[in-house]
């Protein structure tokens, strides 16, 4: 979804950001994205993001790892090439646990990291549009949408709301494919 026009503004402090996001929400203004230098607590609730699925991805990855690890060892020692090692049973569960555990952790970690990178469209060589070089420094940027209504009256209205919340650097932006970033 290409947004033809949107407004960019920033705040200096995270309390200010959280306070004014509440105001913007009350006035029914569309918030396209919020970009911050560090995780601001309560933002995901405020913006209505659902809880991340990454925990479930990790669980599934870990389950696959555990099944593969244990299953492979059992198959090797019971079915494919049974070896008598010190008279131990072929299926000696206690000694399969370390490898099974390591495989669980390995698969879960990789599953989560890949899920995170793919879902966030991140990875080596990703070139998203950088809205402001100070985001990673000390600016809390808000991107505000206009819901397709690009009349001067609406733009001025949104701008004045932003102004009222103490936002700085309020500028009208156009022609950036926001959808590319998410």
Enumerate binding residues for another protein (CB under 8 A): 33-40, 43-44, 47, 49, 51-52, 54-55, 58, 62, 72-73, 76-77, 80-81, 83, 85-86, 88, 92, 95-96, 98-99, 101-103, 105-106, 108-110, 112-113, 116-117, 119-128, 130-131, 133-138, 181-182
Minimum distance from residue 147 beta carbon to another protein (Å): 20
DSSP class of residue 39 equals P
Minimum distance from residue 174 beta carbon to another protein (Å): 19
d(CA 9, CA 142): 5
Closer CB to another protein, residue 99 or residue 154?
Answer: 99
N-term to C-term CA, the chain: 11
Q: 3-class SS at 160? A: helix
Tokens of 100: 């099974």
Query: Per 3-state DSSP, what percentage of the chain is helix, strand, and coil (rounded to 5)?
Result: 50, 15, 35
Minimum distance from residue 70 beta carbon to another protein (Å): 10
Closer CB to another protein, residue 94 or residue 152?
Answer: 94
């Amino acid at each position: 979804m290409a947004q033809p026009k949107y407004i960019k503004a920033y705040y200096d402090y995270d309390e200010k950001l959280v306070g004014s996001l509440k105001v913007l929400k009350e006035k029914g203004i569309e918030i396209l994205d919020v970009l911050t230098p560090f995780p601001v607590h309560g933002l995901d609730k405020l913006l209505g993001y659902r809880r991340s699925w990454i925990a479930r991805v990790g669980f599934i990855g870990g389950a696959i790892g555990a099944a593969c690890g244990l299953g492979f060892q059992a198959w090797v020692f019971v079915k494919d090439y049974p070896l008598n090692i010190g008279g131990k049973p072929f299926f000696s569960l206690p000694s399969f646990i370390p490898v099974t555990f390591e495989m669980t952790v390995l698969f879960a970690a990789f599953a989560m990291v890949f899920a995170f990178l793919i879902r966030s469209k991140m990875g080596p060589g990703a070139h998203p549009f950088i809205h402001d070089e100070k985001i990673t420094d000390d600016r809390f940027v808000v991107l505000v949408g206009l819901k397709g209504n690009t009349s001067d009256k609406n733009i001025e209205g949104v701008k004045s709301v932003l102004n009222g919340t103490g936002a700085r650097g309020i500028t009208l932006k156009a022609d950036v494919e926001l959808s590319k970033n998410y």
